[in-house]
A and B are shown apart, each in its own frame.
Chain A
Amino acid sequence: MSYLTILRAGPIMSVQDTGRPGFLARGLSRGGALDVQALAEGNALLGQDCAAIEMMGIGGAFQADRDMRIALTGAPMRASAAGEALVWNASHVIAAGTVIEIGACEQGMVGYLHIGGGLETPMQLGARSPHLTAKFGAGLQPGDQLPLGTDDAFEAGMILPVENRFDGGRIRIVASFQTELFSQTMRDRFEAATFAKDARATRMGAPVISAENPDGFAAEAGLSILSDVITTGDIQVTGDGTPYVLMAEAQTTGGYPRIGTVIACDLPRIAQAPAGAELRFEFVPLDEARHAVQGWMRDLQALNGKVTPLVRDPRDIPDLLSYNLISGAVAGDEWEMEET
């Protein structure tokens, strides 16, 4: 068995797949990657369907005892292998023993390191994701050794074009069964407001603050509503008027009123919004929202077809010899370096 060793780890770093659906009635939310799109992008780059390492805000240092393919997706972070910069949204071959260094986000908040063949950490109840909020499993620590799956593919040096979802923007929401607890005036004010994600955001939820609404928002029913079922993306408004967008590790039921629900395809944009990035919420009709989610899910399925060879200009590579060393396991025909 080969292993990936964690030499250094950011504060919130964990192995994540698409989570563990099916346990809402038992009090356990799905969990899984905060940016499902980034997870799919990495899997498309490597031609697999595996868990990846999710890094919030800052990455870490990693070393494997065998040659491996990797892909880097989600929030672009400063990344290098043996001192050579690694292109984001791309796949690479890393020689055994080479240290991969991943630093702070340059955009967005959540980056992903994918390994060819995947990580074979234990499957529990159908997923490898720990549920950090539920204290089920744990995040990654320096010294952890993650077993690597067998990688039967060779394709690396590929890139995937991605749309910018790393600086906030327009977020589509649908009315929820508690939206009517908020007056039309309050809903209008909510839609007109500009928000910034608060630094207290976790895998459970992201508070969003509107500077022009210092008292926040409130339901007419106040806080005396019966605790009810929560779905991922719900925006609950807590006692002090702060809206929270409930994310992958949301609680399964809750008693704070919810003004609306962020649609699945816009949740990555929330997860990726750095503190200070502008967010605006817009109610869209249910039909339109369902079509948007369906279109997004089809696009995720079709990502494999959008992967293209990473074109590198040899003049950008200061030391070709060391570069080839890093890419030691690549046969010539998989890595086509175009002449310029």
Chain B
Amino acid sequence: MTQSQWPRIQTLGTDGFVIRFSDQLNEPANRAALALRAAIEVAGWDGVEEVTSALASTAIRLSAFADFEQVEDQIKTLVLSRDWTAEPLPDGRRLYRIPTVYGTELAPQMAQAAKAAGLTVPEAAAELSAARTRVITLGFAPGQPYLGTLDPHWDIPRLSQITPQVPAGALVLAIRQFVLFAVANPTGWMHVGQTAVQLFQPNADRAFMLLPGDEVQFNAVTEAEFARYENDPNGGAEWEIIP
């Protein structure tokens, strides 16, 4: 793949465009996708109904009656106006600190994950607790984040056997990423931690706790401390705006 191939602007269905920055997940491509998404939202072009981003791409959905040629020109002009992989992340992002129990019967695959990373369980818990990860994208369930990227020794494989169900709030790990489960679901990733957070609260003022670009630190707490948060929909999470 030559570098000049990226970014690529292509159509998405009949009413959308997708701008892809890479065919692999890397930090600059994810940052570019987040920065371009924010810039398109600010631009306020006619006919744009929705802007979203995935791991390494930004996508736009238009009204069926939009002027597609005009929007395509606007996209081209904006995309070519700068090197998006060198852009800063959008303003207003939040850093969340979410109390997390690592291991125990609440998160039974921690020992296996630590071993796969070449660490003891206490070492692994200390590392994961200190890691500050970015919401790369949300998907699979409403409000459910993919977070990355952990250090290279956390490039551990998915399980060969699917775990039939992990509860909402489960923190699972594979391929240098976390997923924090919004609802109970099966998974092939390792269940290393448990939080009490409800990521999607349809009747709350902020229905979705996390947005792409936000950052999360999963701070280790004891089971006794964790028990205090079980009736708190935010699971004891605290946040601040990233300066």
Contact = CB atoms under 8 A, between A and B. Distances in A.
A177 B142 contact: no
A253 interface: yes
A270 B13 CA distance: 16
Which label, helix, strand, loop or mixed, suits the secondary structure of the B interface? loop
Interface size of A as a range: 35 or more
Interface string B19-60: 010111100000000000100000000000111111111010
Given A27-B143, A261-B13, A264-B14, A227 B202 contact: no
Given A136-B142, A174-B13, A226-B56, A25 B212 contact: yes
Contacts of B208: 23, 26-28
A336 B163 CA distance: 63
A178 to B, nearest CB: 9
A231 B51 CA distance: 12
A339 B68 CA distance: 53
Contacts of A228: 18, 20, 54-57
Interface string A43-81: 000000000000000000000000000000000000000
A243 to B, nearest CB: 16
B200 A136 contact: yes
A103 to B, nearest CB: 34
B207 interface: yes
Contact of B55 (A175, A226, A297): A226
B86 interface: no
B14 A225 contact: no
Nearest to B213: A25
A265 to B, nearest CB: 9
A252 B54 CA distance: 9
Interface in A208-242: 225-229, 231-234
8 contacts: A124-B203, A136-B202, A175-B11, A177-B11, A225-B23, A231-B15, A253-B54, A253-B137
Given A22-B50, A174-B11, 10 more contacts: A21-B50, A26-B138, A26-B208, A177-B10, A226-B22, A227-B139, A231-B59, A253-B54, A261-B12, A261-B14
Interface of A: 21-28, 124-125, 131, 134-136, 174-177, 225-229, 231-234, 251-253, 261, 263-264, 286, 289-290, 293-294, 297
